[in-house]
Amino acid sequence: MHRNLAHLLSALAAVVLFAGCLTIEENYTFKKDGSGTMEYVVDMSELGEMLKSLEGLGDGKGGDEGTGDMDMKDQAARLKGLPGIGKVKVKNREKYVQVLSFRFKDLAALNGALNVIMPDSTGAMHEFFRWEGSTLVRTNNAHALEMGDDMGGGIASDSTDPTAILQSMHYKYSFTFAEAIRERQVAEGVVQDSPEPRRLKLDADWSVIMKDPTALDLRITLDK
């Protein structure tokens, strides 16, 4: 009985996850010397809310799976061995929200870390960030695009439109700099918010990413 119930819950969780309920966040702080901190957040709290209604069907104890296959402990262990990376931590902000955080010495260290956290199917190393004078440039590999394909974009059915699924999934950036932001260039469809001169927040749903593989690329020029 309990085994069958566990299988049922597992299947339901997979179905709900496939239907969206995912937010990825990249939160950065950059200091004047090029060092900084990064948080990578996997938020499946909407999934958790849906599963709460099912907990009463079991023994009432709930599960400890949390973020399940999105667990980042292995990535954290690998980050600890990278040069220029320190203070690596993984914590569960709540059951279905996991945060991987670390400090980086410079962009070379940060790029090395991001290749661990966000690899794509090519296995090639990618330069996510670079400085062009006072402009921070971000480019991406196929990691987000492949995630979208796995979680909805690859649906091939005449009766299923993946647009709503993809629109329920979000990819967010947050940047805080030591200097004020003079200008920024982001893709069409990316929502911008600048709560203060040194901060910038960006939000793109996965339908934007699937239409434009460069949607998460950006340029931020600082007032140096």
Domain extent for 214: 22-44+69-222
In a domain, 49, yes or no: no
Is 172 within the bounds of a domain? yes
- Rg over CA atoms, the chain: 19
Structure tokens at 50: 């849906």
Please enumerate, as own/partner, the contacts of 69-75 that have beta carbons within 8 Å and a separation of 24 or more. 70/42, 70/44, 70/98, 71/98, 72/40, 72/42, 72/98, 72/100, 72/117, 75/100, 75/116, 75/117
Residue 175, pLDDT score:
98
Chain centroid to Cα 189, Å, comes to 18
Average pLDDT over residues 99-106: 98
Query: Count of alpha carbons within 13 Å of 154, Cβ hemisphere only?
Result: 8
* Other CB atoms within 10 A of residue 78 CB: 14
Q: Look at residue 51 in the predicted model and tell me its pLDDT.
A: 58
For 52-91, what is each residue's pLDDT tens digit?
A: 655 554 444 444 445 554 689 999 999 999 999 999 999 9
Is there a domain that residue 6 lies in? no
Where does the pLDDT of residue 16 fall: very low under 50, low under 70, confident under 90, or very high at 90 and above?
very low
- 77 assigned to some structural domain: yes
What domain count does the chain have?
Answer: 1
User: Within a domain: residue 209?
Assistant: yes
Does 4 fall in a domain? no
Lowest-pLDDT range, 30-34, 44-48, 67-71, 160-164? 67-71
- Mean confidence (pLDDT) of the chain: 84
Instruction: Examine residue 3 and state whether it is found in any structural domain, yes or no.
Output: no
In a domain, 17, yes or no: no
Which residue did the predictor score with more confidence, 64 or 109?
A: 109
Q: What is the pLDDT of residue 46?
A: 72
pTM summary value:
0.82
Reported as a pLDDT band with limits 50, 70 and 90, residue 149 is confident
